[in-house]
Amino acid sequence: MGIIERIKEIESEMARTQKNKATEYHLGQLKAKIAKLRTQLLEPPKGSSGGGDGFEVTKFGHGRVALIGFPSVGKSTLLTTLTGTHSEAASYEFTTLTCIPGIIHYNDTKIQLLDLPGIIEGASEGKGRGRQVIAVAKSSDLVLMVLDASKSEGHRQILTRELEAVGLRLNKRPPHIYFKKKKTGGISFNSTMPLTHVDEKLCYQILHEYKIHNAEVLFREDATVDDLIDVIEGNRKYIKCVYVYNKIDVVGIDDVDRLARLPNSIVISANLKLNLDRLLARMWEEMGLVRVYTKPQGQQPDFSEPVVLSADRGGCTVEDFCNHIHRTLVKDLKYALVWGTSARHYPQHCGLTHLLQDEDVVQIVKKKEKDEGGKGRFKSHSNAPARIADREKKAPLKQ
């Protein structure tokens, strides 16, 4: 029996099982088995050289956004409209067969937009190049799920289910669970608050399903069984997602109003170029990009080329700013002068841990090199301690 057949068999068993207090341990074990099988499904086959027919493109710019959706929902038209890059668009499905990148120039930054082929139900099992599409989406900073406003709401649920099946968690944060494997000592189970979904026995059963018999587990929140499995697997990607409802020009105003009020959603028309400025503003807001301008000592700030930081790519502190310019700059830093919304007064003397905000101006002040003591013949060039350096014989004065 193949992996896909085993997954379907366990899913049908879970559907037949009644959910109550007596069956929660059994259901927890079944969820752990499905998670293990899906991880095996995503692994490359043994004996393969690692090469494949994927279509990963090199990362470029200050952020990466992936367009995901069913065929013929307007992804290629949206890419062409926003970036100017030509992507083949036609009235038939599967017009786009590979990954087509484009660059959006917005707020002095460059954002890479990827037009991916449409995925269908069963993409997590490899149907319709689904695995390659989802692999590219995992490397993105933001996912735009493009949906047809004139079609049923079920498309959004199908796509979310397919992405979650391969370890993509949309608009969620990592669970506050501390997990560490040990060599000996058994399983240590603790929590900082009352738990309503998981108890010690269920945690032991799930860990034994993964053949883990020595570990530390600490719950810092009232997490579910699925959260515990995600932490044990350790390969989940938590990514922000905006649901983009395209083709609003073919539906009524009441439907447009209803879709626009849904959480994490925005309505557009790529063909008529409606509401695209709001889409760009929403992308900027979700990615959390921070522009920082440099100011050389005694000169005006340079507003032509900002240093772009983000929490997802390193961080937004003064230390991250220094590392972005040069990795040796942190050692030479004495303090930083900051102008902008993150400063309490202008300029503010800040250390490495100061959190920068959008459109701040930063001037780096370096440490001064200490002069060595003594002059002329009595100047010491030795790195030895003073009491030894003083005893070293100096060269005679020139005649």
What string of DSSP letters covers 189-241? EEESS--SS--HHHHHHHHHHTT--SEEEEESS---HHHHHHHHH---EEEEE
pLDDT above 90 coverage of the chain, percent = 30
State pLDDT tens for residues 364-387: 998 876 544 555 555 555 565 655
171-205 as b/e, with b when 16 or more CB fall inside 10 Å? Answer: eeeebebebeeeeeeebebebeeebeebeeebbbe
Residue pair 112/64 in contact by the 8 Å Cβ criterion: yes
pLDDT-derived band at 392, boundaries 50, 70, 90: low
What string of DSSP letters covers 22-46? TTHHHHHHHHHHHHHHHHHHHSPPT
Q: How far is Cα 8 from Cα 38, in angstroms, rounded to an integer?
A: 11
- Sole residue written with tokens 């009524």: 252
pLDDT above 70 coverage of the chain, percent = 82
What pLDDT does 383 receive? Answer: 60
pLDDT beyond 70 at 206:
yes
Say how many CA atoms lie within 13 Å of 138 toward its Cβ.
Answer: 19
Q: How far is Cα 95 from Cα 85, in angstroms, rounded to an integer?
A: 15
**Would you give the distance in Å from CA 247 to the centre of its chain?**
29
Mean pLDDT of the chain: 82
Q: What is the mean pLDDT of residues 154-165?
A: 85
**Would you give the distance in Å from CA 113 to the centre of its chain?**
15
State pLDDT tens for residues 252-287: 899 999 999 999 999 999 888 889 999 999 999 999
DSSP classification of residue 287: H
pLDDT-derived band at 49, boundaries 50, 70, 90: very low
Q: What is the pTM of this model?
A: 0.78
360-378 as b/e, with b when 16 or more CB fall inside 10 Å? Answer: bbbbbeeeeeeeeeeeeee
3-state secondary structure of 132: helix
Q: Which of 30-44, 212-226, 268-282, 330-344 has the lowest mean pLDDT?
A: 30-44
